[in-house]
Amino acid sequence: MDRKAELYSLEGKAGLFQVLPYSIQQILAMFVTNMVPITLIAAAAVPALAQAEILSLMQSAMVAAGIATIIQATPIWKLGSGLPIFMGVSFTFVVPLSAIAARHGYGAVIGAVLVGGLFECALGLSVRYWRKIVAPIVSGLVVMGIGLSLLATAARSFGGGYIEDFGSIGNIAIGSVTLLTCLLWMVFAKGTKKQLSILIGLAAGYLAALLMGKVDFSGLGEGGWFALPRLFPYAPTFRVDAIISICIIYLISATETLGDASAVVGGVMNRDLSKDETMGALTIDGMGSVLSGILGGTPVTSYSENVGLTIMTRVVNRRVARVGGVIMVIAGLFPGIGRFIKTIPTPVIGGVLLIVLGQILVSGIQMIARAGFTPRNKLITAITLSIAIGFTTSTEAGIWRELPVAVQSIFSQNVVAVIFIIALVLNLALPKSMEE
């Protein structure tokens, strides 16, 4: 196989220095957002966690995500799909875990994470009993939903994130420099260098932010430079109400993981997800979360930002994920590395996310097309998207107000969850005769 073609093969024998730039590109695309969920959850805890404790938890979660990424790409027993999927700290759990932390303390968060992770692992091991009901049209709609749900994140990041000067000329300029550099590199670069557009765009955006005085180095000196994660830094407590609510969220996380894995094989390899890949993707999603909980962190899951980048570059060599996982572990053990990467301004990340996340949406459309635009599939698509997008983008939560608060918290803003439920029900309920 041609040396350059090795990067575009799952089993390619690409060398370390050949895959390293792509691994770094993947890490930079997700590192900053990977830090946010655990910060929000820990900040909500009662009693409150000190800043030093939060920093320690962030590093431990990075180690867990790195190990899960390595196993995801290099299956062990039934853990891991063998696909180049990067794992990170999940945003899906922020609201419910923050509520648990505020009501029962951080120990209840850890207890719910541990039990929920085992639940998702069991879901993966039993995949042969339920896999057939997740038809290609359902998977395609879920992938499309993931893309739709993340576009607002890209736009928010482009404008500066959740800060006072959101949408300022300076933030828009930095995001635009990043975006335009990526586009120009993709147009004019040759060969495999074309696939490094995100890395080049990040570098250009960072330089622009540096020249504009938008890079904050104040946090570089905080904490030590090496730290081993601690086992059970917080004793888990097991609250039935917390566990039940989080297991429901794990179902949503599992749906997103299936969507991400389907997007990789469908968007790049033009095939459907196999039974073993489905099982492995879910089991490591669950056990990676268990490991994160043992180290004091919150759930880890597949990172859609990285899936979009993989679809865009078509670099599916699993060694990219393995090396990326090692980088994450090192960054977790040497906090200074993480603190330096965190200096990347949010608009720089937003500039690349506008390109990357749109790729997931397009991949979902391709999967729907591959399932076929039969009358039945068109009806499922039309009704699913109408309900999911219409009900979750409405500024008023009135349509959900008569439902229990727990149901509202899951469905009122989670378009992926609504798409999965509606598409699954319609696919099971509508007669197959409509295909004709």
| Segment 88-108, tens digit of pLDDT | 988 778 878 888 999 899 999
Higher pLDDT, 63 or 416: 63
Nearest to 351 by CA among 235, 252, 204, 225: 204
Q: What pLDDT was estimated at residue 175?
A: 94
The structure tokens listed for 225 are 């430079």
Beta bridge partners of 87: 302
Alpha-carbon distance of 152 to 227, in angstroms, equals 35
Stated as kind and residue range, the H or E segment containing 301 is strand 300-302
Would you kindly state where each structural domain of the chain is located, as residue ranges?
4-372
**pLDDT value for 399:** 72
Residues 221-256 have pLDDT tens digits of 666 778 888 899 999 999 998 898 889 889 888 888
Please give the structure tokens belonging to residue 154: 């890209």
Residues 6+ apart with CB under 8 A from 43: 49, 54
pLDDT at 281: 95
Higher pLDDT pick, 276 / 355: 276
The 10s digit of each residue's pLDDT in 5-57 is 788 888 888 888 899 999 999 998 887 777 778 888 888 888 888 878 888 88
Write the DSSP symbol of residue 230.
P
- Find residue 301's DSSP bridge partners: 88
pLDDT, averaged across the chain: 87
Q: pLDDT by residue (tens digit) across 46-74?
A: 888 887 888 888 888 899 999 999 999 99
The closest alpha carbon to 21, from 256, 195, 207, 167, belongs to: 195
* More confident site: 323 or 409: 323
Confidence of residue 406 (pLDDT cuts 50, 70, 90): low
At 436 the pLDDT is 58
Task: Give the Å distances, CA to CA, from 179 to 139, 192, 353.
Answer: 30, 19, 9
Give the separation between CA 205 and CA 349, rounded to whole angstroms: 9
Q: pLDDT value at position 410?
A: 66
Type of residue found at 125:
L
**Where would I find the H helices in 159-274?**
169-188, 197-211, 240-267
Which tokens is 187 given?
A: 């147009």
The CA-based angle 49-50-52, given to 5 degrees, is 125
pLDDT at 261: 93
8 Å CB contact between 85 and 281: yes
Rg (CA), the chain: 21
The torsion angles phi and psi of 388, rounded to 5 degrees, stand at -65, -50
- What was the pLDDT predicted at 275? 92
Q: Which residue has the higher pLDDT, 165 or 86?
A: 86
DSSP code for 272: P
Cα–Cα distance for residue pair 169/26, rounded to 1 Å? 28
Residue 14 CB coordination number (10 Å): 23
User: Count of CB atoms within 10 A of residue 117's CB?
Assistant: 26
pTM value?
A: 0.85
Measure the CA–CA gap between 43 and 36, rounded to whole angstroms.
11
* CB-based contacts of 130, cutoff 8 Å, min separation 6: none
- Six token digits for residue 428: 């099971």
